[in-house]
Structure 1
Amino acid sequence: MSSETGTSTQAPGSVDRSVLERVRSELRGNPLTLAGALIVTGLAAVAIVGPVLTPYDPTTQELANRLQSPSLAHPLGTDQLGRDVMTRLVYGARISLGIAIAVTAIRVVIGTTVGLVAGYAGGWVDEALMRLVDVQLAFPGLVLALVVAGILGPSLRNVMLALAVVGWATYARVVRGSVLSVKEREYVHAAKLVGTPPRRIARRHLLPNVINPVIVLATLNLGTVVLATAGLSFIGLGAQPPTPEWGTMLAGGRNYLRSAWWLVNAPGVAIVLTVLGFNLLGDGLRDLLDPRQQSRLEEV
């Protein structure tokens, strides 16, 4: 059949020159994806440059200024210890996004490695690794993270380790499913016949062709990790005072809901916007990177 049927002749793992154009088209045609991208970009900018712009220290207490309502000097008011809420919110963005990126990166590395090995090796290796994945998935992720964090002790580092340990199995299952399909293609068999080492086959032929669902899953997981980190910190297993983390800010302000509403509203809105931004962006990336979705769009 001719190339007009839509069959791609592009070499495996090569860069598609139309990717940027498809991204622009997705952003122009889907306002929700654009909104998600803007939210995530804005949060990243705040996390990077925000602490440089604020004149206050996030942990310095000024009891004379405690529980001041929002004003020009303190746009989001002050907390029960006189600390500027906006400053703590900005520093909290750096902490929350940093932990989300670190946890997601660990999940991706572990899960992708396990999925590649299981899918390519097959046999008893695949069976053993998938049973390990099944055991991990049998427990609710947040509950298991709660147990791990409780055993290790309350700290941000332990929360990060707990969330990373319990979240990699989904990546492993997704990657394994993609590898089982990709490894049966002609170019993979050809690479085996010429004696290409398995590690090189995995790096050059398998990984580039299974990375799209990993990117989508990682984007969606970033918001989930931010929410889980805040939740564990809220109950006292994560960041400890005076660390300016969104979950601890919620915990500290819950006793002032009527007299100082901004103490809870500010970090609460920040968490909602962060999760919403990553979810909208992840949905847009799924539509953009899913080949089946692209085929359906081309047929319309």
Structure 2
Amino acid sequence: MAHIDTMPDEPGFLRRMGRMLLADKFALVAVIFLTVVIVLALIGPAWLNDLAQKQNLRGRNAPPFEWERGWVWALGSDALGRPLLARIIVATQNTMAVAAGAVVFSAMIGTTLGLFAGYAGKRTGQVIMRLADVIMSFPSLLLAVIVLYILGPSILNLVIVLAITRIPVYLRTTRAEVLEIRERMFVQAAQVMGASPRRIMFRHILPVVLPTLMTIATLDFAFVMLAESSLSFLGIGIQPPEITWGLMISQGRQYLTTAWWLSFWPGLAIILTTLSLTLVSGWMRIALDPVQRWRLEMRGRKNG
């Protein structure tokens, strides 16, 4: 992947990114969908939490598209008569919080370690890379299962475990980028000018690595969300009365033959969100690459 020596800071940068986003209709739809998901994650619990928790045994496993009962019943109800649409909206916050927390912490720790591993001395780099090898020697899902079984399932423990398993992704990527960038002229010029290693790493090298890390983080968000859903499906993720999309799928699996909608709708929410994140990640990879972004810019000019 090609690199840029500085982060774009010209006034027209956001306008250019907007034009490139408009040039990619799939990425545009994905961004709109993810914006809606983020808004629902912020306001969902305060808006529909009471309705999502209210039981109505007379309406248990009600089928979807019964519009006469109200829009919150459009997707049907679960085994306790609670509206699925309201529960999916409320569950958005926990699902997004776990994924975002794990990605942010793993990116911060992995990027910092990667900067030191790539720019510091050989011995320091070897020690840090052996740490990454130890983490990667355990299958991430198996490690999460073991730790959560010992510590107990909770949102905090889930974030910590998933963050730890994703640290090597950012560490190895950052180190590989730094090993190439540190030989560039602007880094050597900063060394001649007497800049400290810390300043060179965080002021000069990090901005060049950020576009690549942002692309990886967007794709990694989808992976972490799927991992959280898998753990909740296995029963060692977030526990009731808290809800996530993965937990809703787990709760509905015993009714798959009689009430398929209990697992189908939260599963569809996961599929659409991960698909949107994948599309946005692909768009970012092109938009932030000076060698390839001309394709989106040309398409944007034609549409304009």
Q: Same fold (TM over 0.5)?
A: yes
Counterpart in the other structure of 1:135: 134
Amino acid at match of 2:268: V
The reply on whether 1:63 has 2:57 as its aligned counterpart is yes
Q: Secondary structure at the match of 1:78?
A: coil
Counterpart in the other structure of 2:301: none
TM superposition shift of 1:178: 1.1
Kept in 2, the 8 Å contact 1:35–1:280? The answer is no
Deviations 1:136-167 (A, max 9, x none): 22333223222222232222322221101110
TM superposition shift of 1:195: 2.2
The reply on whether 1:47 has 2:41 as its aligned counterpart is yes
Q: Secondary structure at the match of 1:83?
A: coil
The more displaced of 135-144 and 204-213 is 135-144
> Which structure 1 segments of 5+ residues have no match?
1-7
Aligned pair partner of 2:18 in 11, 16, 24: 24
In the TM superposition, 1:238-277 aligns within 5 A as: 238-277=237-276
Counterpart in the other structure of 1:38: 32
Amino acid at match of 1:119: G
Kept in 2, the 8 Å contact 1:26–1:33? The answer is no
Output the CA distance in 2 between the equivalents of 1:44 and 1:188.
38
The more displaced of 28-37 and 247-256 is 28-37
TM superposition shift of 1:211: 0.5
Kept in 2, the 8 Å contact 1:56–1:84? The answer is no
Counterpart in the other structure of 1:219: 218
Change (3 A) 1:18 1:184: farther
Query: What is the TM-score when the length of structure 2 is the normalising length?
Result: 0.88
Report the RMSD for the aligned CA atoms in angstroms.
2.4
The more displaced of 28-37 and 124-133 is 28-37
Counterpart in the other structure of 1:287: 286
Query: What is the TM-score when the length of structure 1 is the normalising length?
Result: 0.89
The more displaced of 236-245 and 105-114 is 236-245
Counterpart in the other structure of 1:168: 167
Deviations 1:167-209 (A, max 9, x none): 0111011111111122122222222223222222222101111
Output the CA distance in 2 between the equivalents of 1:222 and 1:12.
25
Amino acid at match of 1:97: M
Counterpart in the other structure of 1:93: 92
Counterpart in the other structure of 1:5: none
TM superposition shift of 1:52: 4.4
In the TM superposition, 1:185-224 aligns within 5 A as: 185-224=184-223
Q: Secondary structure at the match of 2:238?
A: coil
Aligned residues: 292
TM superposition shift of 1:295: 7.1
Change (3 A) 1:204 1:233: same
Output the CA distance in 1 between the equivalents of 2:35 and 2:214.
17
The more displaced of 204-213 and 147-156 is 147-156
TM superposition shift of 1:56: 4.2
> Which structure 2 segments of 5+ residues have no match?
299-304
Amino acid at match of 1:155: S
The more displaced of 23-32 and 108-117 is 23-32
Kept in 2, the 8 Å contact 1:13–1:204? The answer is no
Moved segments of 4+, more than 6 Å: 295-299
The reply on whether 1:156 has 2:155 as its aligned counterpart is yes
Amino acid at match of 1:273: L
Deviations 1:67-126 (A, max 9, x none): 222323312221111212111101111111111111100011111000001111031001
Output the CA distance in 2 between the equivalents of 1:262 and 1:162.
31
Q: Secondary structure at the match of 2:292?
A: helix
Kept in 1, the 8 Å contact 2:33–2:276? The answer is yes
Output the CA distance in 1 between the equivalents of 2:164 and 2:150.
13
Output the CA distance in 2 between the equivalents of 1:132 and 1:296.
40
Kept in 2, the 8 Å contact 1:59–1:243? The answer is no
The more displaced of 277-286 and 236-245 is 236-245
Change (3 A) 1:141 1:292: farther
Counterpart in the other structure of 1:80: 79
Output the CA distance in 2 between the equivalents of 1:77 and 1:278.
27
Output the CA distance in 1 between the equivalents of 2:37 and 2:10.
29
Q: Secondary structure at the match of 1:287?
A: helix
